[in-house]
Structure 1
Amino acid sequence: MSKLEDLLAAKGALLADGATGTTLFDMGLTSGDAPELWNVDEPDKIRKLHQGFVDAGSDIILTNTFGANRHRLKLHNAEGRVKELNAAGAWLARDVAEASGREVLIAGSIGPTGELFQPLGALSYEEAVEAFAEQIDGLIEGGADILWVETMSAVEEMKAAAEAAKGRDIPLVITASFDTAGKTMMGLSPKGMAQLKTEFACTPAALGSNCGVGASDLLAAIMDMTAADPDLIVVAKANCGIPEIRGDEVVYTGTPELMAKYAHMALNAGARIIGGCCGTSSGHLAAMRGALDAHVQGDRPSLEDVLANIGPLVSPPNLEADAAREESAAEGAGGGRRRGRRRG
């Protein structure tokens, strides 16, 4: 068994970390800069990032390597530093984890390439596999315990990352961002995500959702995933409440109390790994740690429960359009009329 499986077996549910980007902006990162360069240029600030999450009780911390693939780094003339920046990012996280005196797992963060796949764009599947493999080499060299592929939208990109992870003898986690009327930008539904598990070259240890729009939208997504596969180990890593535009800033409105409620509801919905994404500070995580430690399993929430306790959906599903697509597909296959599925 992997360290991830061992820790899940021992604790039942795990707390992941919070926001990397928004926390680093508070430390002085400028919009347009590559946060991954700080793994070498500002290592003490990256240690501080991780230390805050460890002190708050995180069982899993993600490396500062979300955009550390050759395609994103070329925007900063750093495409030749992929292995260096990933290894440094994993090593910094491991340094903090090992000093904690308890088991804290290092998840090597792997984000999208930022490129469109053929035929919509120029990136081939083989090129994506090569880019992810290069990043994975650095993360493993730095001591990552998990390969954590996150904020994905396209099925092809998830499959390319899984192909690159094949044979690495390290667990793979994949999370998608369901931010477009209940689906990813490329049209993948949470139910479809759950059904993909057996189609990857390297079977993920866990699937789930991160980022997106609001915490309610993310809870609705993971409820769909756990309904589709109750045995699936599901990750819920929501943004901190509902984002609001205030001038030139995006402000996340979630309080520690709200995020504690979200953690309880995610556990009741069947998630096993809970964390926060954009706007989630160490203070929010401390409240979530308390929620996990005090949690008594309750009834599975309905969508109405989520809306009442966490807030409205920011990007609700377009049920009429989904129903029309299902009806069109059924008629094309010679089938009868099909009803659109309701959430919750």
Structure 2
Amino acid sequence: MTNQLSRMLGERPWLLADGAMGTNLYNMGLVHGQAPDLWNDSHPDKVRGLHRQMIASGADIILTNSFGGNARRLRVSGAESRVAEVNLGAARLAREAVAASGRAVIVAGSMGPTGEIMTPVGHLTETEATEIFTEQAQALKRGGADILWVETVSAIEEMRAAARAAQTVGLPWCGMMSFEPGGRSMMGVSPAQLGALIDRLPYPPLAYGANCGTGPAELLLALSGFAASGNERPLIAKPNAGVPRYHDDGLLYDATPEVMAEFAVLARDMGVRIIGGCCGTTPAHLAAMRDALIRAPRGPRPSTETIMARIAAAMAASGPSDE
């Protein structure tokens, strides 16, 4: 049976993924050092409300509040025994927000990295990582996630482990790495290497790409490296909204809605099919991105020079974000 994401990609030239979860929750009262995932139980109305804001701003895909919901990351908060509870709650809150919206929106079960370094550099094996991801994925599926959304990964071994977990639970998935300013992930993986890996996985993702990083221009440059792999799967672009700063006791990022709107149009013109925002991306950013994607005529594929010049011009014209 065709899954909802494949159907929507077959019907539309682009889909809008949502914005940030963690940084928006910090600005809603989450204390630094607290696990955002635990708010599914302690502050469900705020988590559900943020989902509703993202949907109202135009999101076609919303990510569950479960980025750090695996046992190794929850162990930091003494909650490693609550994996099922945390992820069930995350998926159910997102499903409730979608039900209230009255339109088709995909619930993507967010799965971030384990938080540990894989062998041979570190001590976590692929088998252990697969077990960790599978436990989380099973709960997200039970809670109603349509797909799994594996993001901010830096190691090939961890991406393989996530693929095996998705295969085990029988859910389609999407996979993203985060790339540093030098064009490689923290563990040295290049965009071309990730692109080449995707089709070699025993259970390939529906779409793949990059998220997080240092800002929209840098992420677009990383995405251009996927072309070298020859992989033709749909691409995802979900960058941070620039660089963070503190303002009125809140955490803000320097890319305004206008900057993220320019990014969205550039990404679309590069052929990216799923476009969204990561850390610092608010509902206001998302609304501006959707409006730009609808209104701006499609242009030629932008060059590296065009990407840098247009993002720099948008940053200069908009000034600091106070959203």
* TM-score, length basis structure 1: 0.87
2:191 matched residue in structure 1: 190
* Alignment match, 1:241: 242
1:80 is aligned to 81
State the match for 2:55 in structure 1.
Answer: 54
Opposite residue 162 of structure 2, the aligned amino acid is: A
RMSD: 1.8
User: Structure 1 residue 306 and structure 2 residue 307: aligned?
Assistant: yes
Distance in 1 separating the partners of 2:78 and 2:39 = 15
Query: What's the CA shift for 1:294?
Result: 2.3
Amino acid at match of 1:171: P
295 and 121 in structure 1: CA distance in 2 versus 1, 3 angstrom threshold: same
The range that moved more, 101-110 or 239-248, is 239-248
Deviates further, 9-18 or 55-64: 9-18
Contact 2:134 2:166 (8 Å CA) reproduced:
yes
**Residue 47 of structure 1: CA displacement?**
0.6
Change (3 A) 1:283 1:250: closer
Report deviation, 1:122: 2.1
**Could you tell me how far apart the structure 2 residues matched to 1:53 and 1:80 are?**
30
Aligned residue for 2:267?
A: 266
Aligned pair in 2 of structure 1 residues 230, 127: CA closer, same or farther (>3 Å)? closer
- 1:250 deviates by 6.1
Match of 1:319 in 2: none
The match for 2:100 is 99
TM-score of the pair, normalised by structure 2: 0.92
2:19 maps to 1:18: yes
The verdict on how the C-alpha distance between 1:50 and 1:247 changes in structure 2, with shifts beyond 3 A counting, is closer
Q: Do structure 1's residue 276 and structure 2's residue 277 form an aligned pair?
A: yes
CA distance in 1, matches of 2:19, 2:138: 25
How far is the alpha carbon of 1:251 from its aligned partner?
A: 3.9
Q: More deviation in 96-105 or 235-244?
A: 235-244
Distance in 1 between residues matched to 2:108 and 2:161, nearest whole Å: 18
Does 2:208 align with 1:207? yes
Q: Are the aligned partners of 1:2 and 1:170 in contact in 2 as well (CA < 8 Å)? A: no
Mapped to 2, the partners of 1:172 and 1:178 lie a distance apart of 20
Q: What is the alpha-carbon distance in structure 2 between the residues aligned to residue 279 and residue 226 of structure 1?
A: 28
Question: 1:284-299 alignment to 2 at 5 Å?
Answer: 284-299=285-300
- Tell me by how many angstroms 1:243 deviates: 4.1
Consecutive unaligned residues of structure 1, counting only runs of 5 or more, are: 313-344
* 8 A contact 2:220–2:307 mirrored in 1: yes
Rg larger for: 1
Distance 1:85 1:194, change over 3 A: same
Q: Is the 8 A contact 2:196 2:231 kept in 1?
A: no
Aligned-pair distance for 1:198? Answer: 1.7
Q: How many Å separate the matches in 2 of 1:102 and 1:166?
A: 28
- State how far apart, in whole Å, the 1-side matches of 2:5 and 2:155 are: 26
8 Å CA contact 1:218–1:236 kept in 2: the answer is yes
Aligned counterparts of 2:271 and 2:55: Cα–Cα separation in 1: 24
2:230 corresponds in structure 1 to 229
- Provide closer, same or farther for how the CA distance between residues 87 and 243 of structure 1 changes in structure 2, counting only shifts above 3 A: same
CA distance in 1, matches of 2:247, 2:28: 20
Deviations 1:1-37 (A, max 9, x none): 2100001112221000001111000110011101111
Q: Residues 226 and 234 of structure 1 are in contact (CA less than 8 Å); yes or no, is this contact kept in structure 2? A: no
Q: Judging changes above 3 Å, is the alpha-carbon distance between structure 1 residues 129 and 230 closer, same or farther for their aligned structure 2 residues?
A: closer
Aligned length: 312
The aligned amino acid for 1:276 is G
Separation in structure 2 between the aligned mates of residue 187 and residue 308 of structure 1, nearest angstrom: 27
Q: CA deviation at 1:48?
A: 1.1
Is residue 241–residue 310 contact of structure 1 (8 Å, CA) maintained in 2? Answer: no
Q: Which amino acid aligns with 1:304?
A: E
Partner SS state of residue 208, structure 1:
strand
Gaps of 5+ in 2: 314-323
Q: Is the 8 A contact 1:213 1:243 kept in 2?
A: no
Q: Is residue 134–residue 169 contact of structure 2 (8 Å, CA) maintained in 1?
A: no
Counterpart of 2:257 in structure 1: which amino acid? P
* C-alpha contact 1:214 1:243 (8 A) present in aligned 2: no
Q: Secondary structure at the match of 1:122?
A: coil
Q: Which amino acid aligns with 2:297?
A: V
8 A contact 1:239–1:278 mirrored in 2 = yes
